Amino acid sequence: MKNHIARFSVKALLATVLAVFTISSTLNAQDGEKLFKQNCAVCHSSHTDAMGTGPGLKGIFDRVPKPADAWLTKWIINNEKVIKSGDPYANAIYAKYGKAAMTVFEGQLTEKDVTAILGFLKAPPVLPPTSTSSTSGPGGDVAEVTNGSMQPLYIILGVITILAILIGAFRSVRTSLQNSANRAEGKPENKDMTFGQEVRQWMSKNSKLVGVLGILLVFGGMKSCWDACYNIGVYYDWKTQKGYKPEQPIKFSHKLHAGDNEIACQYCHSSVEKSRHAGIPSVNICMNCHKGIQKGPQYGEKEIAKIYAANGFDPKKGIYDPSKKENPIQWIKVHNLPDHVYFNHSQHVVVGKIECTTCHGNVKEMTVAEQKSPLTMKWCIECHRKTEVAMAGNAYYDRIHKALKDKYKGQYDVKFTVEKIGGLECGKCHY
């Protein structure tokens, strides 16, 4: 009787745990917002039609061929297959956006997952008027967690609370039934045991099961840590999909300088092709032009006067006044990576031939510089997986690339991406 009750209690408890986690997993799998943030938000905005890394998705159902849901499902799962099929709309947008490769999600997302994502895009949440991310200073703090990203935590806490209540109830019922059976058989009642003592006793009797559960917990914890690290970014708010945009000590307009006046990025950020750092221009760079240009189109002389003050320059006399103290401009760095990340600008700009806009957005349209890309590990890895190695003009690599394509034609994906040359090795960025 006692063993039967114990087996019944354990089976009931395990069945309850399995049911709770099954329901939780089902709800989680159908969470379109979460799936969108995990797979799509890196490149696309759900609430605007503005161009980011990829086109904005507002109004997407009115733009694509009908039936929209069916077409989008095929496109999201394997866009390369749709393009190769000769679909006119697919080929038109592929050409429009510079034939930039989109991630193929076949094997990663199911049609059910895509349906959930499309459901989210049809009714995206209303965004708050202001960002909730922490942008307190340039020290490299990780962005504050938004309400949307806290939802899984609430689910886990709720599940743990329910399980604790169920365990307590089952334990009380089992103890009462066992003691009733002992009294009926003339046996002494079981001694009272604390929950901890009972757990240790059960673990000693079921060491193999405990070992298996322990291994699953360890690997589950490692997977959770990986997922958490995958989306760590600095100053990026996933809910509004906006990054850091601090007010600078001088109202410098990239739109005016890089856009209207077409000043090359390398003129001010002179070390971008020679160093891991792009470099912040010294005030002497500013003076190359502003020694003669003393009045701006928007702020007049006010902002340019700050340059003169920083360099001890007297604009009326046109000389550097040695009696004036120099005050270097305290520019605020906008694009920050976590301290454990190594990134080399010259490697990407010179060797990889990556355009500045790929990571920084269209700076030529920015009055105030801001972070446009999340700059997370996930974002970088996906770029390495889809970006082909730049080989144009290098006969040695052209020959190797052609030989590989001929050798593996029809067998493997032989796109010679950064991933193929070690772009996903941990030590490349975290040595």
* Alpha-carbon distance values, 147 to 133, 152, 161, 229 (Å): 11, 10, 21, 19
For residue 132, what are its two tokens?
A: 């909730």
How crowded is the C-beta side of 35, counted as CA atoms within 13 Å? 24
Nearest residue to 79 via CA among 55, 47, 50, 58: 55
**DSSP codes of every residue in 120-138:** HHHSPPPPPSS--S----T
For residue 299, the model assigns a pLDDT of: 87
pLDDT, mean of each 10-residue run, the chain (431 residues): 45 50 46 78 74 76 87 88 88 80 78 86 63 39 42 78 84 81 83 78 88 91 80 74 88 92 90 92 90 88 92 88 83 90 92 90 91 90 89 74 77 76 89 78
Phi, psi of 320 (to 5 degrees): -85, 120
For residue 107, the model assigns a pLDDT of: 73
**Which ranges of 40-146 does DSSP label H, i.e. alpha helix?**
60-63, 68-77, 79-84, 88-96, 111-122
Cβ neighbourhood burial of 240 (10 Å; 0-12, 13-18, 19+): middle
Cα 128 vs. chain centroid, distance in angstroms?
Answer: 20
pTM greater than 0.85 (yes/no): no
For residue 413, the model assigns a pLDDT of: 60
For residue 204, what are its two tokens?
A: 């000693």
Domain boundaries, the chain: 31-126, 254-373, 388-431
Q: Give the number of other Cβ atoms within 10 Å of residue 325's Cβ.
A: 9
For residue 125, the model assigns a pLDDT of: 62
Topology given in CATH for the domain delimited by 31-126: Cytochrome Bc1 Complex; Chain D, domain 2 (1.10.760)
Contacts of 170 (CB under 8 A, 6+ apart): 9, 12, 13
**Residues 339, 327, 323: CA angle, nearest 5 degrees:** 155
